[in-house]
Structure 1
Amino acid sequence: MEETKDDSPFKCVAERLTLGITRILESMPGVADVRFVEREPAEKRCLLSWEQKNTCILPEDLRDFYLTTDGFTLTWSVKLDNECVPVGCMVINSVARLRPLLPPISLFSLPNAPTLADLDWERNSTESGSEVCPAVPHFDAQSRIFELDSCGGNGKVCLVYRNCSQGVVAQQSDIWFLDRSLYWHYLTPTFTSYYRLMITHLGLPEWQYAFTPYGPSPQAKQWGSLYQPLTFHCEPSSTDPVGEAPINTLDPTKAFKGRSKVATPKKKPPTPSSAGGSAAKGPGGGAKHATTRR
C-alpha cells in the first residue's frame, strides 16, 4: 500500500477509514499496487458554504466523514503477465466536487432542446414508494441530486434529496445509483451504509449493478467471483437482491500448476485359453477339450 506519510497517527486514521481493507487486499493472490490517497480534513466553512449554496443540509454522517477526510480514493490492481491491470476503485468525491447532477439551464440552449427532465415519464412518476424502495428521484425541481462517485463511466452514485420545494432547505437524503440508461436504483438510506457496502465489495468493477435487476457484466462477474464471492451477487433478483452467492473454492496456486501426461496402459496379450478357445463343460459336468485339426 502506498501512502504519502509514514507517521503512526496517520496510519491509525488510514486504518480506521479503510476498515482494515488494505491489509486484506494485500494478502489476496495476485493483488498488487494497493494505493490509498491521503486527504486533509475539509474545513467547516467549506461545508457551510456548500449548504448555503445548494440549500441543503449535509447528513450528519457525511459531515463527520468530510471533517475527517475531504474525499476518499483507494485503488488496487491485479498482476497479470508481469503487468498491473487496474481492477478495484473506491471513490467518494470531495466537497468541492460534490456538484449538482443537473446543471442550471443555460441561456444559450435551444428553446426546444430535450433535457433530463423529459425522462420523468410515466414509469417514474407513477411508481409508488415503500419503506424498502422509496419513490424514485426526479430530474426536475422535485429532487436535488449530487454526485458522490462517477463509477468510472458505468453510472453514478448520488446523494439525493427528494420531495424538495423551491426556497426550502432540504434535510432528508438517501443514496441512489443512476445506471447508464438513466434509470434509478435505490442503494441505502444513509451514507454510512453505502460506505460499508463500498468497502465490503472492495470497489470491484460495476459492483453497484448487483443491486439492479440485470446485474453486472460477465467480465465484472468474473472479477467478483474470484475476489469477493460471498458478497458479489452474480445472480441478483428483485425479491432478494442481497442473497448469497455460491462460494468459490478455486485456489489458482494449486489448480494451474500443470500436470504430467498420463501414459496409456498397454493391452495385455491374450491368454492361450482365449486364443485357442476356452474350455467348455459337457453335459456331464466334465471338461470338454477343444480338438485341433492337423
Structure 2
Amino acid sequence: MIEIIQMDETKDSVAFKVAERLTLGITRILENMPGVVDVRFAEREPAEKRGLLSWEQKNTCILPEDLRDFYLTTDGFTLTWSVKLDSECVPLGCMMINSVARLCPLLQPVSLFSLPNAPSLADLDWEESSTERSPHVPAAPHFDSRSRIFELDSCGGNGKVCLVYKNCTPGALFKSEIWFLDRSLCWHFLTTTFTSYYRLMITHLGLPEWQYLFTPYGPSPQAKSMSERVCFC
C-alpha cells in the first residue's frame, strides 16, 4: 500500500484516490515491481487562487493554464520510492514539482566568478548565434531580460527543470515552455506544455538523471548502472 504522508486515518480512501489521480496510476505499477519498496506520496492542499494571482503580479507572467489547474489541485508534488539491493533499502526514484512559493526565478548572479570583469551567465548567449540549431528545436532561452526562468525541479543537484518564458518584451504575450538546464549550463528542450512534461516525469518514474535522456550525452554511467540493476532499462 502506498504511504500517504501527513494525513489522518479517516482520510485514507480519499487521499489514496487523489494519489492515484495525480500519479496517473504509476503508484500501483511501482508497488507491483519486484524490489521496489517504500513508495511515498506527500499529500498537499491545493494552492489558493489569491496565491497564484500574487505570483503572477510579482513576476509579471501569467501561469500556463495547465500549470494553474495543477496548483489548484495540489500545491506541488513529491513522490519518492526506494529499492531493496543486497538487503539494503536504497532511495532511487524522485518525482517533484515545486510549490508555488518555491517556483522562484532562476538565480542569475552578475558573475560566475567573484572577480572583476569576470564573465556572467548572459555571456553564454553568444553560443546561440555561433552554432547551428535544428529547425525542429525551439531557440534556447536567454540568461538576460529577454527570458524569464523559474525552477520547477532542482533534480537533486543534477540540473534544473525550468518553466521558461521567452521573448519577454514590453507588450508581448509570453509563451512558456519547459526546458532542462544541465550542470554545464546548457539548455535542452523538453516540452511545450507543463502537462506533457508531467507525463514525461511519470513515465520515467523519476529515475536519477532521466532528464539527461533529452541531451546528446545521456545520464551518467552511475545513473545508468543503477537503473539497469533494478531492471527498468
Percent of aligned pairs sharing the same letter? 76
**1:131 shift after superposition:** 6.2
Mapping of residues 85-100 of structure 1, within 5 Å: 85-100=90-105
Of the candidates 177, 181, 185, which is equivalent to residue 182 of structure 1?
185
Q: Structure 1 residues 158, 84: CA separation in 2 closer, same or farther (over 3 Å shift)?
A: same
Q: Structure 1 residues 45, 169: CA separation in 2 closer, same or farther (over 3 Å shift)?
A: farther
Structure-1 separation of matches of 2:65 and 2:115: 40
The equivalent of 1:275 in structure 2 is none
Structure-2 separation of matches of 1:28 and 1:61: 30
Secondary structure of the residue aligned to 2:101 is coil
**C-alpha distance after superposition, 1:188-234 (max 9, x if no partner):** 000000000000000000000011100111221233344433xxxxx
Mapping of residues 117-196 of structure 1, within 5 Å: 117-121=122-126, 123-126=127-130, 132-165=136-169, 167-168=170-171, 170-196=173-199
Q: Which runs of 5+ in 1 are unaligned?
A: 230-294
Q: Does the 8 A contact of 1:57 with 1:169 survive in 2?
A: no
Secondary structure of the residue aligned to 1:41 is coil
The equivalent of 1:9 in structure 2 is 14
Aligned residues: 225
Structure-1 separation of matches of 2:49 and 2:108: 25
The equivalent of 2:80 in structure 1 is 75
Quick one: which amino acid aligns to residue 144 of structure 1?
A: R
Secondary structure of the residue aligned to 1:173 is strand
Q: Does the 8 A contact of 2:110 with 2:121 survive in 1?
A: no
**C-alpha distance after superposition, 1:147-192 (max 9, x if no partner):** 0000011100000001111x44653100000000000000000000
Deviates more, 1:130-139 or 1:12-21: 130-139
**C-alpha distance after superposition, 1:49-105 (max 9, x if no partner):** 100111111000000000000000001111123321111000100000000003476
Structure-2 separation of matches of 1:110 and 1:181: 20
Q: Does the 8 A contact of 2:167 with 2:174 survive in 1?
A: no
**1:29 shift after superposition:** 1.1
Secondary structure of the residue aligned to 2:100 is coil
Structure-1 separation of matches of 2:204 and 2:231: 9
**1:116 shift after superposition:** 1.0
Work out whether 1:222 is the aligned partner of 2:194. Answer: no
Q: Which runs of 5+ in 2 are unaligned?
A: none
Secondary structure of the residue aligned to 2:102 is coil
Of the candidates 53, 56, 76, which is equivalent to residue 58 of structure 2?
53
Secondary structure of the residue aligned to 2:72 is helix
Structure-1 separation of matches of 2:186 and 2:171: 27
Structure-2 separation of matches of 1:9 and 1:126: 54
Q: Does the 8 A contact of 1:161 with 1:170 survive in 2?
A: no
Q: Does the 8 A contact of 1:158 with 1:177 survive in 2?
A: yes
Structure-2 separation of matches of 1:13 and 1:126: 48
Which of the pair has more CA radius of gyration?
1
Structure-1 separation of matches of 2:226 and 2:194: 25
Higher relative contact order (CA 8 A, sep 6+): 2
Question: Comparing both structures, which one devotes a greater share of its residues to strand?
Answer: 2
TM-score, normalised by the number of residues in structure 2 = 0.89
